[in-house]
A and B are shown apart, each in its own frame.
Chain A
């Protein structure tokens, strides 16, 4: 089984998120970079599938040269091949991103393409679906359980307390969510192999899209520091009074 996993380099945000003075990007002076939990799980899922069924996991990212760090991270977890679609720093929209990935899929040939359900930073919720339409493949999104056989996949997710199961013929696109598995930690041999591995490169063309970012900003929070009701169990009577006032005790 030939599997392609698409990942994205995004800033690692911890306790705080800030925007650069020009309002165009997240301020990364104090942060590292990583891939989102959804995508870590996509890599893990692909590695597990090929451990069972054989085949190769390729990992792809569209981003600047520095995103090779994220490709090596995925190689350390068991991916066998890495592809960088190198950008000149401009942000690709979802249409251009899907079309760049589709070109790699056509050139190499895959049975299954896995992505995270949405990118952590842009939250566009659509690259996997646009990719599937470009390829004429079926797609399931937000998947939390995946079983693969030679001719198809069964992909499951939960929606409003109901389990949905989708049967897809291969080749197919599936976007996954954190919780589908518990990703492993990279092994030492894995990390050494990843360090030496070659990265295939190409440079897709950027194109303007009908949705144009003007600026990013941190939302004004209506809240400030909490009113402290008291310490320990002694504060419980006051807490009960507040709960009653909020109308949640009815």
Chain B
């Protein structure tokens, strides 16, 4: 069996979300996992892909297809799925991954299941799967009947695990193949697939992005106003992280929407989420549940966020944060 996985790159490394998708792809049974990468050949992270169990990489270079064109990317996947006889095609549940797989669903007329946490072949054309609903606040058990199972993998559910574990542990899949084949693929593309294409330019803010930050310092209604965020920014800087906020903060106009953590904002997967003055509405939990550790600072010991946090300090963030900043500076 062949499984086709779109791999997105961060510079020359596979994006973390794509490694999670590859980890799930490997569990689909006795399969050959083939990846599709849109980049220059010399930027393709061949050894990391091999570590994640990939047997073949199809590289589409900028000379063939320049930049991000979602419908064209999906057309390439459709062609390769046919060519390789793939029984499944997947991507990470990122904005791009969900978009490309939705196009692939429309092109093939097949169903597409977004943000899966588990997919299991169940004989023939059947796959059983578990997927996010309500941005992960609920799980759906579902059955997919299709000649090619199309799905994306939730970015905060499956931990990325190399097939070549250095020590201990059993690799969750077939052994690492001896060799990985790189194919420079030059598909023919129709004009109609290239109408919608991204023109990219650096975003205004820059710096560490909320979606990939290792530490996020969160601020909610308890911050009190637009001018209350300086200590949170200072703390985030000290911890090498960024500031994220709850929905009330952006709808009050205290901070820009791009800093919102939640169902309609960004889903984060940091090592640490420090939630300050955030009560923990369920839409916010949908955005931060992927954090490895959550520490809450809140004046209300009954705040819902405490049911999702590992640790809490009961107190006013306006006293706790400056004291924490001072303590960290003194170290």
Interface, chain A (partner B; CB < 8 A)? 13-17, 19, 26, 36-38, 93-95, 118, 120-126, 129-130, 132-134, 138-142, 144, 157-169, 177-179, 182, 209-219, 221, 223-233, 235-237, 239-240, 242-243, 246-249
Q: By the criterion of a CB under 8 Å from any partner CB, how many residues of chain B are at the interface?
A: 96
Residues of chain B in range 191-215 having any CB-CB distance to chain A below 8 Å: 195-207, 209, 211-212, 214-215
Q: Is the CB of A141 within 8 A of B99?
A: yes
Q: Is the CB of B99 within 8 A of A248?
A: no
Interface, chain B (partner A; CB < 8 A)? 10, 15, 68, 70, 95-96, 98-99, 102-103, 105-107, 109-115, 132-146, 152, 195-207, 209, 211-212, 214-215, 239, 247, 250-251, 253, 256-258, 260, 263-265, 271-272, 280-283, 293-296, 301, 304, 306-316, 319-320, 323-324, 327-328, 331
Q: Is the CB of A13 within 8 A of B136?
A: no
Q: Is the CB of B197 within 8 A of A236?
A: no
A49 to B132, CA, bound (A): 34
Which one of A15, A122, A214, A224 contacts B281 once the chains associate, using CB atoms below 8 Å?
A: A15
Which one of B113, B195, B258 contacts A211 once the chains associate, using CB atoms below 8 Å?
A: B113
Contact A223-B308, Cβ < 8 Å, known A125-B102, A232-B320, A248-B272: yes
Which one of A177, A218, A235 contacts B320 once the chains associate, using CB atoms below 8 Å?
A: A235
Chain A residues with CB under 8 Å of B141's CB are 213-217
Q: Is the CB of A165 within 8 A of B201?
A: yes
Chain A residues with CB under 8 Å of B114's CB are 118, 123-126
Q: Is the CB of B295 within 8 A of A129?
A: no
Q: Is the CB of B138 within 8 A of A164?
A: no
Chain A residues with CB under 8 Å of B107's CB are 133
Q: Is the CB of B312 within 8 A of A214?
A: no
Q: Is the CB of B112 within 8 A of A225?
A: no
* A98–chain B nearest beta-carbon distance, Å: 8
Q: Is the CB of B99 within 8 A of A237?
A: no
Nearest opposing residue in chain B for A168, CB measure? B196
Chain B residues with CB under 8 Å of A125's CB are 98-99, 102, 114-115, 152
Q: Is the CB of B282 within 8 A of A232?
A: no
